[in-house]
Structure 1
Amino acid sequence: MKMMHQAGSKHFSEDIWRRLQPWERRLDEELAQLEPELIRIRRHLHAHPEPSGEEIETSKFVTKRIQQAGVDAWIARSDIGNRVGVVADLTIGKPAANAPLIAMRCDLDALRMPDEKQVEYASRIPGVAHACGHDAHTSVLLGAALAMSAINSQPGELADDDGVRLRFLFQPAEETSHGAEWLVSQGAMENVDAVLGMHVDPERTAGTVGIRYGALTANCDEIEIEINGHGGHAARPHHSVDPIAAAAHLVSTLYEFLPRTVDSRSAAVVTIGKISGGYAPNVIPERVELSGTLRTTDSKTRDVLKARLQDICTGVEQTSGAKVRLRFRQPLKAVVNHPRITAALEQSASRVLGPENTEIIDQPSMGGEDFSVYLDHAPGALLRLGCGISGTESTFLHSSLFDIDERAIGFGARILLRTALVLSADIQANAAKESA
């Protein structure tokens, strides 16, 4: 793996960008020609969504189109279940022997929820919808691959010694936080030197982006709490140990005291999103189950709150007489953007959209994103791609009315490809200096 320099200045040299200008012109030409097809692709995917772990037809569609363009692609399949993803490699031009391998990742899966939009490309699959923009992400990455393949077949004015090595990762099961780890286990990150990603943001209009240096998302731990008491008649609670009363006390205690456990300047949030228990209005049940999430932006706060959660559960157990069992499941690390790669995203976005449309994000999101799994294997960064439709009220992610301004697809592809090109050129230039 090549060394990723953090550099004193976040800016890339004008010499590098000057050398890349022919690439930029060709990219913009190819993506302009591809735009109508990319919109058709996005609408096809939007109308035919597949939920997490079931992206079979989506993977076939991606593989067929990318192979038609002459890109070497293969479908990764799980031995258990229907999980599939696509990995595609493309070498453009004649990269140097020390040229890095730059990966770009998108997610394929849809959500189990209705699509209530009144548009011709609304979901045709009952109870499944692309309400998080993964159809747009897939279209962005397909556009990037198709554009680079077209350039590869007709290099034109590009210098003979110019070149770049790219890998395109089409990941399943992001919504369940299983897909990235599984795709990595299939060899998706072997020999990768840097990884790029994006997520649409309906709170930003198309033609704008958000760039974050450092932590972009939160650590996310799933919480499962099981409370076991003794059931009985609602008229005689003194003969029972009521798990519903214990659960109510537990939730209110968590919400009251966890925020006062850590410095208020440390971002953290706990939410109980599901409570299950009971059979009838006149029966005290034996058991109640609760589930939720703990979200933090630094490991120290995470450790403190996990310990405090256990203390509160133990306290409720002692005061109520019920047995309280706490488990943490599916921990997901925060996405922490690498400074040099983030700088490449920022400069690339500024060249595509203008610096006035490239916003630096001040605070991390408390959402989770399994792009962090790739960052255990290579440095990388993820940006927020504006997709909001100007002049209309935003429809938020995971809304049954969610839609995008489809111009965002071309913007995303232009930014990612420029970022890959400047990173590749920068890494090769630094390697040449070190060997001189």
Structure 2
Amino acid sequence: MTAWQSRLSAEIDQLGDHLIEFRRNLHRNPEVSGEEFQTSLLLYQVLGDLGLSVRMGPDGRGVIADLDTFDGEGSTAIALRADIDALRIHDSKSVDYCSQVDGVMHACGHDAHTTLVLGAAQALQAMAKKDELPWPIRTRFIFQPAEETCVGAKAMIKAGALEDVSTIFATHMEPGLPFGKVGFRKGELTASCEEIRIRIHGSSGHGARPYEANDPIAAAAQLVNTIYLTLPRVTNTHEAVVVSFGQIHGGSSPNVIPETVELQGTLRTLLPQTRLETINHIHRIADGISMATQTKMEVSFELGTDAVRNDSNVIDLLKETCVEITGMPGVHEVPRASMGGEDFAFYLDHIPGAMLRLGCATPGSDTWPMLHSTRFDIDERVLPFGANLLARSAVACFEPGSRWSQQLLQPRTTTHPDST
């Protein structure tokens, strides 16, 4: 361990208790997507008190903070991204930091992501003030709202979060791994998420005389079954595709065949070509059942988020840093992509970056509540650990003449946010 790495670790160790209390405060006071005003204000005040350059995100939600120690003309920045929103899930844990907001909790670890990025900012700023950084750095800390609704990343990008940024890092809690393990994967880490809406128009009639109607409920049942049965037969067996319908709405009386039925579901794929092929398959299935049932089907797809595709160079840097901290036992190679979604993908449409999976289960636990569980929690040692991993990696990018400075600090043109 070099002198600057040792000093950075010491700074973060000193923050340990503070980070735990900060995270617990967020956990007690969660705010759902679109309502993250108090969380944003708190972060704005804390980051401003550190002496960082701070600005609020759109509509008073989200925060962007900058640390720049270059004298005059400097480098592009390395960004560290956290998400700050919570979920409409009841917190059933018996702990003193249980959510105080009925029906809302941090069940996906966003309070931890926020805290460890804040810890990285605090440690790096402390070293900058004491002139202990080994070389100049330029780091941006992005605290993003509305990840769960897949609109926050786009809003922050439109607000300038990626201006003069060349590379971006992020983390995600992983309750399937014990504390001390870090999940790495090059390429696809999560799936693209598409919302499916299908509106079926038939003709209404008496439930006792279905032959006098064109039943949209019967058509909906055929459609769901056919999609579920057919897609595995027309999709390359090496490609992952998930289609699930979670909502069906139609009818108001048990003895009346309704005029319309609406279905809503989700499509998850990893590769763009597979996504397009699956959408075409669903359209063809709908056309066939529409003809057979004499109904009309309106099928639409709306992209929630693209797949997170981790840059190989960024993964190499983060893995090297992890090995420096934990040794090789800390490295976990993620064998396959998750079919969950993450709007971190929108940042990666513009610049390279990577998301890590931080093990957050207490080692030796037989069972640990998974993401979106009413009992979700973390081993809080992951907070200083994650802060150290991100902060060290950010500093390493700026080492003069290093492989990382040559690969990850190249100026890039950020495309217009609407292009996503």
- TM-score normalised by L of structure 2: 0.93
List aligned pairs for 1:240-251, cutoff 5 A.
240-251=213-224
Q: Answer yes or no: is the 8 Å Cα contact 2:397–2:405 preserved in 1.
A: no
Unaligned 5+ segments in structure 2 are 411-420
Task: Please say if 1:62 is aligned against 2:38.
Answer: no
Classify the secondary structure of the residue corresponding to 1:424: coil
| Residue equivalent to 1:342 | 315
* Structure 1 residue 121 corresponds to structure 2 residue 97: yes
Q: Distance in 1 between matches of 2:215 and 2:205?
A: 8
Deviation, 1:99, is: 2.9
CA distance in structure 2 between the partners assigned to 1:218 and 1:76 by the alignment: 27
Q: Is the 8 A contact 2:396 2:404 kept in 1?
A: no
Q: 1:188 aligns with which of 145, 150, 161?
A: 161
**Could you say which residue in structure 2 is the equivalent of 1:285?**
258
Relative to structure 1, is the Cα distance of residues 376 and 124 closer, same or farther in structure 2, using a 3 angstrom cutoff? same
Read off the aligned partner of 1:43 and give its amino acid letter. Answer: R
Between 180-189 and 344-353, the greater mean CA deviation after superposition: 344-353
Which structure 2 residues correspond to residues 110-189 of structure 1 after superposition, within 5 A? 110-156=86-132, 158-159=133-134, 162-189=135-162
Q: Matches of 1:35 and 1:429 in 2, distance apart?
A: 30
Residue number in structure 2 paired with 1:48? 29
Residue by residue, what CA displacement relative to the aligned partner does 1:30-51 show, whole Å, maximum 9, x if unpaired?
1111010100000000000000
In the TM superposition, residue 178 of structure 1 has moved relative to its aligned partner by 0.3
1:109 and 1:70 mapped to 2: Cα distance? 25
Point out the more displaced range, 404-413 or 65-74: 65-74
Compared CA separation, residues 358 and 174, structure 1 to 2 (3 A): same
Alpha-carbon distance in structure 2 between the residues aligned to 1:89 and 1:377: 19
Structure 2 residue identity aligned to 1:73: V
Instruction: Note if contact 2:58-2:155 (Cα within 8 Å) is conserved in structure 1.
Output: no
User: 2: distance between equivalents of 1:342 and 1:96?
Assistant: 30
Tell me which moved more, 324-333 or 103-112: 324-333
| Equivalent position of 2:414 in the other structure | none
Rounded Cα–Cα distance in structure 1 between residues aligned with 2:71 and 2:137: 5
d(CA) in 2 for partners of 1:77, 1:193: 22
The answer to whether the 8 A contact 2:190-2:342 is kept is yes
Distance 1:35 1:316, change over 3 A: same
Q: State the Cα distance separating 1:293 from its structure 2 match.
A: 1.1
1:29 counterpart SS class: helix
Partner in structure 2 of residue 12 of structure 1: none
| 1:320-339 equivalent positions in 2, closer than 5 A | 320-339=293-312
1:363 aligns with 2:336: yes
Percent of paired sites with the same residue: 43
**For 1:152 and 1:123, how far apart are their aligned partners in 2?**
35
RMSD, matched Cα: 1.7
Deviation at 1:96, TM superposition (A): 8.8
TM-score by length of 1: 0.90
Write the deviation string for residues 329-387 of structure 1: whole angstroms up to 9, x where unpaired: 13421111111101011111111222112111121111111111111221111110111
Q: Give the number of aligned pairs.
A: 405
Within the alignment, does 1:233 sit opposite 2:206 as a pair? yes
Q: Does 1:404 align with 2:378?
A: yes
- How far apart, CA to CA, are the structure 2 residues paired with 1:256 and 1:304? 16
1:34 partner letter:
L
State the SS of the aligned residue for 2:30: coil
Write the distance in 2 (CA, Å) between the matches of 1:187 and 1:100: 14
Contact 1:75 1:85 in 2 (8 A): yes
5+ residue gaps, structure 1, are 1-17
Which residue does 1:34 correspond to in 2? Answer: 15
> Take 2:405 and 2:229, find their aligned partners in 1: how far apart are those partners?
54
Matched, 1:85 2:62: yes
Tell me what 1:418 maps to: 392
Cα separation, 1, equivalents of 2:53 and 2:231? 51
What residue is the counterpart of 1:263 in the other structure?
236
Return the offset for 1:427.
6.0
CA distance in 2, matches of 1:28, 1:428: 21
Indicate the residue corresponding to 2:415 in structure 1. Answer: none
| Aligned partners of 1:55 and 1:84 also within 8 Å | yes
2:182 paired with 1:209: yes
Residue type at the aligned position of 1:363: R
Q: Distance in 2 between matches of 1:231 and 1:107?
A: 47
Cα distance per residue 1:91-137 (max 9 Å; x no partner) = 24x47955331001000000012111111111111111100000000
Which AA in structure 1 matches 2:64? V
